[in-house]
């Protein structure tokens, strides 16, 4: 079975704004890579350090845009038609004044993105059947990616789900709701049971009862396998995550797992450790590989 191998690198710059991030992404050292996550730098002023991700035969380019472009449906469609998607990792960067977002595009792939509205996120369990039916109707037409955004067009802000598909695509996706995992270990166990059938975790869906949303593409015979790794945080989460030794160990772990085709899909932190759920996608193409 085929997997996708990836490599990771820790950035050099102390990032305190989007311009510094953009400059590092365009530098010769990190050109063509994509922002994967941000790690804190301990000090008086809040700063971050980028973690960059690369895969063979990809070449990412980036564009800074007003934050409104990430929620304006017409702007999402226009940027998607150029092959750009929002890089959500960059949203941790806070700037004074008008906020901006980072859009990234794989210039080596001739892929465009189309969006559709799947409706408001449920607020109670009785809303879920209609929400799930909307997702499945759109999923049958290749809309396999789910993003959450705030819609203010009606005057009252509303959290809505927007689905995305690649063009061209052969994907035919279906969505299911499952019991939510109560621990990282349970998340791995649930993920492996469902992943054997090609289902991958998308997000937790609110309501009277919190449930986990999974997606499956019937057009491909994908298998997802998960495992959990824990890294100790010395001095608590705030200090531990900014410790250079921890960051060095973290990057080394990502590269070790990446060489075997595993990608960190869920990273959670408590006071004593970081909990990293790695996912290996076998024979996967398209949007499901990015969950």
Mean pLDDT, 10 residues at a time, over the chain (291 residues)? 96 94 97 96 82 96 94 93 96 84 96 96 95 98 94 78 96 98 97 98 95 98 98 87 94 98 94 94 94 67
Distance in angstroms (rounded) separating the CA atoms of residues 183 and 180: 9
- Whole-model pTM: value is 0.93
Long-range contacts of the stretch 34-37 (C-beta < 8 A, 24+)? 34/58, 34/60, 34/87, 34/104, 35/87, 35/89, 35/90, 35/102, 35/104, 36/8, 36/89, 37/89, 37/267
Q: Where are the domains of the chain?
A: 1-110
pLDDT of 42 reads: 76
pLDDT of 291 reads: 67
């Amino acid at each position: 079975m085929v997997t996708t191998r990836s490599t990771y690198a820790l950035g050099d710059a102390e990032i305190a704004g989007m311009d510094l991030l953009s400059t590092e992404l365009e530098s010769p050292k990190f050109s063509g890579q994509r922002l994967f996550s941000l790690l804190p730098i301990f000090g008086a002023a809040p700063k971050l350090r980028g973690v960059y991700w690369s895969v063979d035969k990809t070449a990412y380019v980036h564009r800074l845009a007003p934050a409104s472009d990430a929620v304006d449906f017409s702007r999402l469609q226009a940027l998607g038609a150029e092959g750009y998607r929002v890089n959500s990792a960059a949203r941790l960067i806070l700037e004074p004044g008008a906020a901006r977002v980072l859009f990234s595009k794989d210039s080596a792939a001739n892929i465009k993105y189309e969006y559709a509205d799947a409706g408001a996120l449920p607020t109670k369990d009785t809303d879920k059947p209609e929400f799930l039916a909307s997702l499945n109707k759109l999923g049958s037409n290749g809309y396999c990616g789910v993003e959450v955004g705030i819609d203010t067009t009606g005057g009252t802000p509303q959290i809505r789900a927007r689905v995305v598909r690649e063009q061209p695509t052969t994907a035919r996706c279906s969505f299911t709701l499952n019991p939510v995992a109560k621990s990282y270990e349970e998340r791995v166990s649930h993920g492996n049971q469902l992943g054997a059938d090609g289902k991958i975790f998308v997000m937790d869906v609110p309501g009277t009862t919190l449930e986990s949303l999974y997606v499956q593409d019937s057009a491909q015979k994908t298998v997802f396998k998960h495992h959990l790794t824990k890294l100790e945080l010395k001095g608590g989460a705030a200090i531990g995550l900014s410790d250079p030794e921890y960051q060095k160990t973290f990057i080394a772990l990502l590269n070790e797992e990446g060489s075997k085709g595993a990608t960190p899909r869920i990273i959670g932190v408590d006071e004593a450790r970081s909990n990293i759920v790695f996912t290996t996608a076998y024979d996967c193409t398209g949007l499901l590989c990015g969950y």
